[in-house]
Structure 1
Amino acid sequence: MATTGYLKRLTRRLTEDLGEVDAEQIAEESRATGAQRAAECCRGDEVTMHGELRAVQTCSRTAKEGVKAEFFDGSDTVLLKWLGRNRIPGIEPGRKLTVRGRLAEHDGAKVIYNPYYELYGSDDE
């Protein structure tokens, strides 16, 4: 019986979309920390979310756009914007972090401006 369950889980992991598996794992970690889910948060809410940075865009010294990062918590994507910064050490794709701030909307997308954040390394997990 135990081998049947193992084989089902193994088959599921081998055939399931990697994006879905990744989202499920991130959502599980987020639930374990007690953080809010991005999909359930609305504009104006003070939020604390846990997830992973999917993409980071830094600006040149002449541009004043700041650092932008795509944050994913397993349920939805939130854009994080640090204004007036060219680069932030540790803010890079693949890093897990907890962010805190007020949720806003810009062009229909969820955004947190200048969020407080706590980075997690591979040894913290």
Structure 2
Amino acid sequence: MTETRTGASTEPGARGWLSRKLQKLTADDRAVDAQELRSGVASAGCSAVSSCRKGEVVTVTGRLKSVVYTPRETVPTLEAELFDGSGSVTLVWLGRRRIPGIEPGRRLTARGRFAAFEGRQVIYNPWYELSAG
């Protein structure tokens, strides 16, 4: 191990640490957020949205990007876009106008049958758990 004039170590592990910190400081905020969400998916034991297949019962976790109430002629729906760093899935609650705690920026874990409707990935009436913070 050698030291530079500032006393910083040039050991390979130290360079990797510094490189990661510099990359995080200079990276796009969305890229950093996506990386943090992807690591949260792995640590929570959930499936990445990008790896989910139609018809599977999946558990996904991430951050809500948007929440929209969609009045329909037959059944009103509440739709929330969940982003996990690898992709997005729309969570759809049929017959609901509002659910306390379901708001943009909130982290949550959802479980349900993965489907495709009108060209987008959806989970209808998912079981969900809001994350603290």
* Shorter-chain TM band: 0.7 to 0.9
**1:66-86 CA distance string (max 9 Å, x none):** 100000111110001001001
* Partners of 1:76 and 1:84 in 2: CA distance: 26
Residue 69 of structure 2 is aligned to residue 38 of structure 1:
no
Structure 2 gap segments, 5+ residues each? 1-9
The Cα of 1:55 is off from its aligned counterpart by 0.6
Q: Work out the CA distance in 1 between the residues paired with 2:122 and 2:72.
A: 23
The equivalent position to 2:66 in structure 1, one of 42, 55, 58, is 55
Partner of 2:87: 76
Query: Percent same amino acid among aligned pairs?
Result: 44
Residue number among 109, 113, 119 corresponding to 1:108 in the alignment: 119
Q: How far apart are residue 52 of structure 1 and its match?
A: 1.0
| Map of 1:119 onto structure 2 | 130
Higher relative contact order, chain-length normalized (CA < 8 Å, sep 6+): 1
Query: In the aligned structure 2, how far is the partner of 1:15 from the partner of 1:37?
Result: 26
Partner of 2:108: 97
Contact 1:82 1:114 in 2 (8 A): yes
Q: Deviations over 1:47-92 (max 9, x none)?
A: 0111111110124698833100000111110001001001000000
State the Cα distance separating 1:5 from its structure 2 match. Answer: 4.4
- For the residue of structure 2 that corresponds to 1:55, the secondary structure is strand
Where does structure 1 lack aligned partners over 5 or more consecutive residues? none
Matched, 1:17 2:67: no
Specify whether residues 39 and 61 from structure 1 end up closer, same or farther in structure 2 by C-alpha distance, changes over 3 A only.
closer
TM-score normalized by structure 1?
Answer: 0.87
Report what 1:86 is aligned to: 97
AA in 2 matched with 1:65:
P
Q: Does 1:8 align with 2:19?
A: yes
